[in-house]
Chain A
């Protein structure tokens, strides 16, 4: 499905470690030409998507560069480890293969519109930057050597000719060294490269280089600027080409659904399903639900629960969504029937058994097709449907309503009106799941959750059950700690 790249890799850099992919960093000029199973295809893409989505929400959450790097590195280790050449006990080639595969699958998914391309390029180049930053000097050099960046080395004579200007520019952009002799020594050993200024607009804008006749004289420590710019430009171009070629792919009915699914998830602002431990929780009984709702529910389920209590009824899709959530939370089928029976107190036993019981059993996989359906994720809840009342409240509500609802639901857990502007701003910026994550952080501050931590390692909420499960767990560990403290004291 991929056309063979015509950019031949120079063979000279291959042997070092005998790797097919000699560098951890990659400009992705060579598409993967090996066979993959459909599952590998999807999983590699999903894992990469998680990382990219986290990078995106880092931007939305105003994380500093170091925090973003931290969070992303953790995510990478978890989902898509990529070791450097020195890790000789790891199968680096297969890691790198996966890296390349994931990247190219996502290219297919994200080349379709300007908006998607822009976001993809941004997230991918941030990922590249993070890897570049974390790379050892030696390997970085080797990588830079392997590609022609089309920069012209400035000869000593030329450096001498402009030495005053180059030195001044070097000081303006440079790190602050107090000792004059050091500065001059460093300058002497500095290697400069010339590129057209249009390739380093960021350096130009901040007057960080010496510029003569349109050529920017870039010191080696600013090389990264050229590299990043090159990465972005090449990727942008490649995506546009892919977009043109994509219609021919439409015949492959196996891939198209996977691809649209991927780009949809990204559009909703998140990576993928929260999958860990479905139906894991401890036994929850019907009478515990009210308390759980008060303490551990995300806004969407809280809203649903409050509606159910107020109206003593919930419409079909509401029941389905909330019912599946409860199932994953740990409500057994027996308890679920008790719960719903009690909740629909306006109905007679006969009505309940006839109209509702079947659907409840169905969602547990006990009727009909016999499929135990998974609970709906944030991606699904965020998707606009005609059943507007079941869309994520952070997305659906007007700012005024959202404020009232937030205070009503969470003020008992430490949310104050002082927190509202921040949450509302995130919503306004179009990141409902980030707003939800922030509310989680605020309401769990007493359990030691700090701003920016999210639901562990800085991840954002991607599933209402993830929110609730973690909340329950936090409460438990917190209680145990208290208990320990008391026992010791």
Chain B
């Protein structure tokens, strides 16, 4: 064992240096989230009972429970309990988005680009890369947890104590270990980073969806999701330790499995088998758009299946959401049947309005991923030989960009249709078709505008394209938390998420529709022209 890990320390140092910027940016984002969450909730609870009651009520609504996790049922709520209820699921997801690519990059990524081969030819052990990555995981997660702990102590919310704060910090550390070691295992199973990342994100999405469904209907089943384990700790109330132990044991097992595979496999190989290729190209493979289809179709299928599942799951919970009598039986005495129906429908629509942003964000992520492939394929040199051929840069970038827009439209459409169909199957009063229309008229322009922004960035300043995720992420977070943290009504209006916030309760206003469509066209043109004038980073 020791022999196999020799000189992992050197790799750790190199990795830490290599990933420093990436990790620091993420750490800053995460700590800001914790701090602002704690400060905002503390403020709401200090301001008096009315504000805090509103927040508790809001959180108990099905939409919020689905998004953030079930709020624990206690007689009196304080800022700390609500903080844990809101932040646990959300922080775990954010952290996983940082940790999983980091782990894959440190292991399979280095193997794929040939670095590991050179390193391993030196006096470096067979599993040293996996071990070094795991140490890095421990180290950065520890820094993160320490910062969380210090932040929570500093804010000192109503209802917190040292034990609770410490437990929260440790739980977030363990959550990192679970998803980090999972990514490490996938990086050993697959023989390339793309498959490894895809498997990791799919598992993260599945974990989120399982807890979403179970939090709404069968809370005892939330145990099925690794994210659910951390909800079950019940921070600041019961402070259960079992789920944390479970997480710890699970990460050790996953890490052990990764090590076991790394010990026995060939360099560059994985466990999942790779088939033989074709001797000649299919007859349709004769253009750049066809090439993109050939290289990205796996990703596209993954997104479509994901969109159908997500839409289907969200639709299937609409029945429970649109049952106002369940949430408040007093209404039966106050309202007649028609009014109850109307109230139910309003509930469903506001639930949809809340999730509209998520649907748009998913579609945008799918599309922008393709748009960013242009830069990616240039940097990896794949396009080098294509650039010397007949297709011009305009052809090449237009092909990528149109695919990006198309994938965004497709993912959104498929998701919304799945949502609408399953929703109407479970609702006692199906939603009229006009609401689907509103979802489309609101969602599509937003998706197009967002993706076109990504396209423009790749064309003009490819090095800054990472900022896109920051912009979109900030927009989504502000929109999602906007009610909870009592931010000004238009706080989210710096991205399209704010502009479509009321869809489908209201139809999207003409001005915003025009703004989004016109900016989409302009940004697309800027992106293509910008790419025409770039020095290609080959």
- Co-assembled chains A and B: no
Binding site for B on A (CB under 8 A): none
Binding site for A on B (CB under 8 A): none
